[in-house]
Structure 1
Amino acid sequence: MTTAEKPSRAAQRAASARRILDAAREEFAAHGYDKATIRAIASRAGVDPALVMQHHGSKAALFRSAVQLTGRTVDDVDAHLREVVDARLDGLPPELHALVRSMLTVPEASESMRAYLDERVVNLAGALQGPDAEARAALAVCALLGLTIGKHFLHLDVFDRIPEADVARVAGARLSGPGG
């Protein structure tokens, strides 16, 4: 490889940062905040633990970065809610898995989850029509959190018995519309 073909230091640094965040998401999802270690994250990312600390400064800062969830505005409420239900039935991205797994025991996770859910309520309430939009938005967001926990963490038996298409259809109908 010639010098012209070799990635720049900035590109190498960005690639290392991405590998570290991906590894952190996987470790936090698999083991939670308390049991995930900087050493295991570094090993998974193929970097030295010192590089993890150089990029993030602390385990808590790395956790906050790893569980960042990007928000989006709600243009079509019904389609969006059905899309979220389908996504929650399919599986969880590592950052959401880590966040939900740790939200009751790790203050950083609680703060991140609260901020994310508050943002979801505000966005959804702004897009809903009819009376009690904010209350309906809050209940919809909490119902989706319950679906996430019931299916992916508690592994409720009902999700083995009822086809996902039926769960999605019923959940979508209940979460959208003025009557809920």
Structure 2
Amino acid sequence: MLEAARERFAADGYERATIRAIAKDANIDPSMVMRYYGNKEGLFAAAVTIDLRLPDPASLSREEVGRALVTHFFTMWEENDVLTALLRVGATNQDGAERMQGVFREQVLPLAHRFCPDPEQVPARAALVSSQLLGMALTRYVLRFPPAVAMHTEEAVAWLAPTIQRYLTAPYPQ
């Protein structure tokens, strides 16, 4: 049931995905979805539990954190259409936005904290990192801009990694 929900949310987005369609995909009665998850929001919350599986910050060198993080994100986006569903829903639905904010708070902020030269700047820098990575994900995997889709992953990493590196480790701009 959860796999069918993930696939349907990724394909249709939150607003267009229906309990009936998800139940049909899972070959179950729609009442079973309601029984276990209560409503579409409950099903979505269960289906899109996200662990970015970020590398252990201690295993990353300060000089290569940008490249490592961008490479990791491309791997995650290529392997996981749940992230596409979450991005679609987060942009259009308050529950989805709150889910994404939780991922940011619990997973991205701690990584930024390890590399940021000033602890007070961690939230802003983590937000800048997220803006770059989510912006690329939006244009490549959701909106499917032809140049973003056609770009080889290595080329995209080469463009984004220096920016992510700067956001995480550079001195505050004057």
Instruction: Return the TM-score normalized by structure 2.
Output: 0.78
Q: Which of 87, 94, 110 is equivalent to 1:123?
A: 110
Match of 1:179 among 162, 170, 174: 170
| Aligned 8 A contact 1:85 1:171 in 2 | no
3-state SS of 1:46 partner: coil
CA distance in 2, matches of 1:24, 1:95: 9
Larger radius of gyration: 1
From the superposition, tell whether residues 160 and 71 of structure 1 become closer, same or farther in structure 2 (CA, over 3 Å).
Answer: closer
Matched, 1:114 2:101: yes
Change (3 A) 1:134 1:33: closer
CA contact (8 A) 1:69 1:116 kept: yes
Structure 1: distance between partners of 2:139 and 2:73:
13
Deviation at 1:70, TM superposition (A): 1.9
Gaps of 5+ in 1: 1-19
Q: Which residue of 2 is the match for residue 34 of structure 1? A: 15
Indicate conservation of the 8 Å contact 1:28/1:98, yes or no.
yes
Partner of 2:125: 136
Instruction: Give the match for residue 82 of structure 2.
Output: 95
What is the Cα deviation at residue 159 of structure 1? Answer: 2.2
TM-score relative to the length of structure 1: 0.76
Between the aligned partners of 2:37 and 2:130, the Cα distance in structure 1 is 31
Aligned 8 A contact 1:85 1:172 in 2: no
Any stretches of 5+ residues in structure 2 without a counterpart? none
Superposed, 1:1-180 pairs within 5 Å as 20-72=1-53, 74-75=56-57, 76=60, 78=65, 80-87=68-75, 91=78, 93-131=80-118, 132-159=121-148, 162-176=151-165, 178-179=169-170
Indicate conservation of the 8 Å contact 2:112/2:125, yes or no.
yes
Shift of residue 115 of structure 1? 1.3
Write the distance in 1 (CA, Å) between the matches of 2:116 and 2:92: 36
Q: Which has the higher contact order (CA 8 A, sep 6+)?
A: 2
Counterpart CA distance in 1 for 2:17 and 2:150 is 33
